[in-house]
Amino acid sequence: MTDTVTIYHNPRCSKSRQTLELIQSKGVEPRVVEYLKTPPSAAELKDILAKLGRKPAEILRSKEAAEAGVAKDLPDDQLIAAMVANPSVIERPIVVKGAEARLGRPPEQVLEIL
């Protein structure tokens, strides 16, 4: 059995659209999560961060965080809670497959886990 590929996607973001197209061009039809409409829970976000091997501050979009009043230097748990409450501050797209995840910046990075 193959692991499902999930993309945390924002259809208005060009990098997110490019990453989705790249995945589909490899014959993979991912589960698409429009995370602005359906944000990950704190537990899901912690799991994604562990798979990425990154801290919450490392996947924070600076401009959106500033606009939302989310400080990059918050403790991790508070930062995760702020990200769940303000999903636009989460860097995109994130692609998850099994125990691994990659940030689609650049989109080609996700090929490592397909």
The pLDDT tens digits of the residues spanning 38-53 come to: 999 999 999 999 999 9
Asked whether the bond before 87 is cis by omega within 30 degrees of 0, the reply is: no
pLDDT value at position 95?
A: 98
Considering the candidates 2, 6, 11, 13, report the single residue annotated as catalytic: 13
101 catalytic per annotation: no
Residue 102: helix, strand or coil by DSSP?
strand
pLDDT band for position 2 (50/70/90)?
A: low
Q: What pLDDT sits at residue 65? A: 97
The confidence score (pLDDT) of residue 101 equals 98
Structural domains present in the chain: 5-113 (3.40.30.10)
Q: Residues 80-92: what's their mean pLDDT?
A: 97
